[in-house]
Amino acid sequence: MQLSLLNELEFNDARDAFLKCCGSERWAYALAAARPYESDDELLKMADAAFAEFGRDDWMDAFAAHPKIGDVDSLRQKYGNTKDWAQSEQAGVNGVSDDVIERLASGNKLYEDRFGYIFIVCATGKSAEEMLAILNGRVDNDPEIELGIAAEEQKKITHIRLGKL
């Protein structure tokens, strides 16, 4: 979508477009309300400004909109409006061994049990093995440190998705 078209959308349509980039209602509302944007750079700055206002609950909303890495059923059932994006972002899990998928699944469960949300990583360009190594490297983090890391990953994902609008 071109920026000029995004600027011309009705408010609710613009909010829905932004929700495809980040699942936080608060964030999408802020971006829709701040239109019109003069440039892509201005849009990205507003995206980051809206993130800067986030508390834990806002991050949880954003994280909840993601499928678990490698969870194809979750992609199909829950995330139909971003399924194509998520599948291409997670292309690194396609064609990997069952062992790696199982280790990702068990690592995701351990991570979610520890932190209360799914493992968030900007998967674009990463193999399943790389994502597994990142997961294993983060699962023992202090919860506050990990929330900051997950938030930065969410920002990366959102920036990529904003470029796809």
**Was domain 3-61 assigned CATH 1.10.3330.10?**
yes
Report the CATH number of the 67-162 domain: 1.10.3330.10
Catalytic residues, by residue number, are 66
Q: In the chain, where are the structural domains located?
A: 3-61, 67-162
CA distances from 56 to 29, 46, 122, 157 (A): 17, 19, 19, 18
Kindly state the DSSP code that residue 38 receives in the 8-state scheme: S
Q: Which residues of 124-155 are buried (b: 16+ CB within 10 A; e: fewer)?
A: eebebeebbebbeebbebeeeebbeebbebbb
pLDDT tens-digit map of 139-148: 999 999 999 9
pLDDT tens-digit map of 33-85: 999 999 999 999 999 999 999 999 999 999 999 887 756 555 344 334 444 54
Per DSSP, the residues of 77-102 read HH-GGGHHHHHHHTGGGTT--HHHHH
Q: What is the pTM of this model?
A: 0.83
